[in-house]
Amino acid sequence: MDRREVVRVLLMLPLLATGSCRRGAWITREKVCAHVYQPGQFLPQPLQETSQEAPGGRKPSLLTIGLPVLVLCTMARPPLGLLPYFWPLTALEIQTLESSIGIVWAAALIQSDADVQQLRHGLDRVRTSARSGAEHVVVLFTMNDYTRHWAAAVAAASREGGADEMVVFKDPTIPPYLCDHPALQKGFRRPPP
């Protein structure tokens, strides 16, 4: 899932909440899994590997849920409590996630290393600002063929910047398969696609 997908999900949440859209229709159509990690403790190998190929000039096609590719946010509750399973995500989980985050910084697309540097600056600002001890600093990252080039840099920035959690959204049918690596979550709610 790329940034536009993340943005689209966030934009769809008010529609879902008001019933203006058939509740959860996109969730049943899309193959999107969520993986929650604590970057200071453990990140799986695919998030630490530097892709040898830079993404091509063509921008990725977007999933219909519309999430931004990279988001720095704060949350009152840890994301693990909101997303206990990799897949499938439910409409209630997405609504709860959307209502729980305070966006500090977001990038619709990662176009260069400067976007990752902006994430680092945002993490520095959050770390040095006065914040509640109960507040979690979370990096949301959409991993796809286009953004995989920056996965190691985003993971390193999250770890070095002191993010409490990192949530990775991706299509579970496309490698790398994060589900094959240890994680904090319970696993699959039902068998993967």
Where are the domains positioned within the chain?
3-52+60-178
SS3 171: coil
> Does residue 65 carry a pLDDT above 80?
no
> pTM above the 0.75 mark?
yes
Work out the pLDDT band at 11, boundaries 50, 70, 90. Answer: very low
Residue listed under structure tokens 């949440």: 13
* Residue 162 zone, left/alpha/beta (φ > 0; ψ -120 to 50; rest): left
d(C-alpha 60, C-alpha 124), whole Å: 30
Q: Which two tokens stand for residue 176?
A: 């790398």
Q: Which two tokens stand for residue 46?
A: 């695919």
Q: Are 3 and 142 in contact (CB under 8 A)?
A: yes
pLDDT more than 90, % of the chain: 26
